[in-house]
Amino acid sequence: MSTAAETIEPLASPPRARHRAPSLVDATWWELSKLTAQVRARATLLICLVAPVLIVVVINGQGRPPKDTLYGRYIHHSGFAVPLLMLGFAGQWILPLLTAIVAGDIFAGEDQHGTWKTVLTRSASRAQILWAKTITAVAFALVVLVVLAVSTILSSVVIVGHQPLTGLTGQVIPSGTAARLVVASWATAVAPLLGFTCLAILLSIRTRNPAFGIAAPVVAGMIMQLIGSLGGVEAIRPLLLTTPFESWHGLLAEHPFTGPLTTGLIVCAVWCVLCLAAGLVSLLRRDITEG
Amino acid sequence: MSEVLAVDAVDVTKRYGELTAVDAITMQVGQGEVYGVLGPNGAGKTTFLRMLFGLIRPDAGTIKLFGQTREQAGTRSLDGVAGFIESPRFYPYLSGRRNLEGLARLDGGAAPGRLDEVLEVVDLADRAGDKVGGYSFGMRQRLGVAASLLRDPQLLVLDEPANGLDPAGIRDMRALVKRLAAGGLTVLLSSHDMGEVEEICDNVTIMRTGTVVYHGGIAQLRHQAPEQGHRIVTGDNARALALAPDPDPSLRVVPGADGALIAYGAQEQIDAYITTVVTAGVPLRGLRLTEAPLESLFFMLTESAPGGVPHALDHPAAEAAR
């Protein structure tokens, strides 16, 4: 910076050109740039890549399989059983946590850094910022799921083998079909995962606290599982975000059924719409007084 | 000067429950002006500036920036407007350049080379690749100015830009603001430092607890400011006071609030009076200038009861309120 001078040298001249309005692509590019620069996001992806391999190695080396869990008893019989065992486990709290690492922080992080005023004094609208952050959080959630699924399935098949799989009704599923069904089973996690992503986004906007935004969806998931396990709540159970994580069970039956899958898709879509609508209203109405 | 005002705020009010942070403030800033918003902490300056940027919604009143309201034009109402509120904030895990690139994208992109230009202007070109987390406070302030200049603004809003800077940083920041203003930019500068506003601004609004207590030119304010005096402390103030000449328009000596004497008059008269006091054997224990006239007036306006404000200043304040 120049020091004070006796003669003031002008530095700026009135406007050169009118800026073009920023697009959603511009705002999303910026959010993705920030995300890729964060150690936390990269570390999460690395863990999703490496951890399944280690877990498969450990499970494969165990003499006594976890027989009390779904597909636990088959982990030494087929490499396709391990990804299903892990999918059942991941749906309990791992997937909600993995998506919340970004979605729970993506809005509250602006509060933490005091950067709302920096962002919202530019030309992008609040709605654009919200959609850009949502797209980024959703993209991260999907990438996490894909990396986790690919790493789990490939490591299981490589380490355990690609033997035929035993279905949930006792039928034998040939390897080729088993591979397709395992991939489809992991794909059924997309809807509830996005539901948790949107829940985390809402909590991130409302609480303005990254720690709460990350932890609360996990706790909410556990509470939903607890409620789902109680008797006499049959009417509520399909409405919980955790229930669709189990909808893949229907694919592994001798006579596949997709009712829970369809219900789960609708329920998750409703959760997503409600959470995002509430988040949008909250962000649009909010006074930015901090930072 | 263009007929369209850079800032046209009318009866703007913001309440937080029982507290009225900004109470029916009216402020007009013409294009090309360097305008000061002055007031102590808690006067409502920052709340007002946040409303200008649309960060806070006013409960009443209208704000037009270059003739456009937020309600009519959305974020386009900020076209040609840039600045920062309180200390500028950035993403600490990104470099200064990366921060600016991202902010430029939120404006639809910057012209090629513009980023380097603004980094050069604020003397951050050499450190642009470093993460902002490692920047000093002054560097972040300068990056805030760079981020503002990226928008090629017609109106630059700076909220206490020298706050937290060391003396050299304050000098540099003031010089930068002056140079920007000399280029034809409209500058709206908020401060609690009368000296800063006096040095930079043409016109000023002085606020106290959410209301306007003065609105007008710095020159007019200076005209209304009380005379600067000399504060004299002696071993026997009563005797020293008695040594003052009888009613003399060129020298007035009055007891101050803290027991010291305050002498007003031409420097020669003051010198002669002090010589008289010392020659008379009254020990002289202290001698210094009282507050600068504008600073003194600022304190009167922002701290005194309404009755303590000079009568001549009531008129412009009332005008501004209308």
Task: State the CATH number of the domain containing residue B246.
Answer: 3.30.70
Question: What average pLDDT does this structure show over A244-261?
Answer: 95
Report yes or no: A24 and A128 within 8 Å, Cβ to Cβ: yes
pLDDT above 60: residue A12: no
Q: How many CA atoms lie within 13 A of B249 on its CB side?
A: 0
How many whole angstroms separate alpha carbon A260 and alpha carbon A101?
28
- Intervals of chain B under pLDDT 50: 1, 305-322
Q: Is residue B161 one of the residues assigned to a domain?
A: yes
Q: Quick one: pLDDT at residue B112?
A: 85
Indicate the helix (H) or strand (E) that contains B18: none
Local confidence band at A9 (pLDDT 50, 70, 90 cut-offs): low
Q: Is residue B135 one of the residues assigned to a domain?
A: no
Q: What is the pLDDT of residues B192-207, one digit of tens each?
A: 888 888 888 889 999 9
Q: Is residue B104 one of the residues assigned to a domain?
A: no
Asked if A18 lies within 8 A of B91 by C-beta distance, the reply is no
Q: Is residue B180 one of the residues assigned to a domain?
A: yes
How many whole angstroms separate alpha carbon A74 and alpha carbon A178?
13
Domain count within chain B: 2
Asked if B123 lies within 8 A of A26 by C-beta distance, the reply is no
Report yes or no: B102 and B94 within 8 Å, Cβ to Cβ: yes
How many whole angstroms separate alpha carbon B197 and alpha carbon B37?
8
Choose among A4, A11, A19: nearest Cβ to B180: A11
How many whole angstroms separate alpha carbon A187 and alpha carbon B282?
96
Q: Quick one: pLDDT at residue A67?
A: 82
Same domain for B243 and B219:
no
Same domain for B249 and B218:
no
For residue B205, the domain's CATH number is 3.40.50.300
pLDDT above 80: residue A216: yes
Last residue of a domain, one of B185, B207, B224: B224
Q: Is residue B314 one of the residues assigned to a domain?
A: no
Same domain for B219 and B163:
yes
Same domain for B282 and B159:
no
Question: What residue type is assigned to position B294 of the chain?
Answer: L
Using a CB-CB distance cutoff of 8 angstroms, which residues of chain A are in contact with residue B146?
none
What pTM, to 2 d.p., does this model score? 0.85
Same domain for B189 and B274:
no
Cα nearest neighbour of B84 on chain A: A118
Same domain for B283 and B163:
no
Q: Quick one: pLDDT at residue A88?
A: 93
Same domain for B204 and B174:
yes
pLDDT above 80: residue A222: yes
Q: Which residue has the higher pLDDT, A173 or A20?
A: A173
Same domain for B61 and B18:
yes
Report yes or no: B45 and B207 within 8 Å, Cβ to Cβ: yes
How far apart are the CA of A187 and the nearest CA of chain B, in angstroms?
Answer: 34
CA dist A127 → A105, A285, B284, B307 (Å): 18, 11, 69, 49
Local confidence band at A143 (pLDDT 50, 70, 90 cut-offs): very high
Asked if A2 lies within 8 A of B54 by C-beta distance, the reply is no
Q: Which residue has the higher pLDDT, B264 or A38?
A: A38
The b-or-e profile of A250-280 (16+ CB within 10 A means b, else e) is bbbeeeeeeebbeebbebbeebbeebbeebb
Same domain for B169 and B283:
no
Same domain for B173 and B235:
no
Same domain for B245 and B162:
no
Q: Is residue B275 one of the residues assigned to a domain?
A: yes
Assigned token pair, B68: 């456009």
Q: Is residue B299 one of the residues assigned to a domain?
A: no
Assigned token pair, A159: 């380490």
Same domain for B279 and B178:
no
Q: What is the residue range of B65's domain?
A: 7-80+153-224
Asked if A4 lies within 8 A of B175 by C-beta distance, the reply is yes
Q: Is residue B1 one of the residues assigned to a domain?
A: no
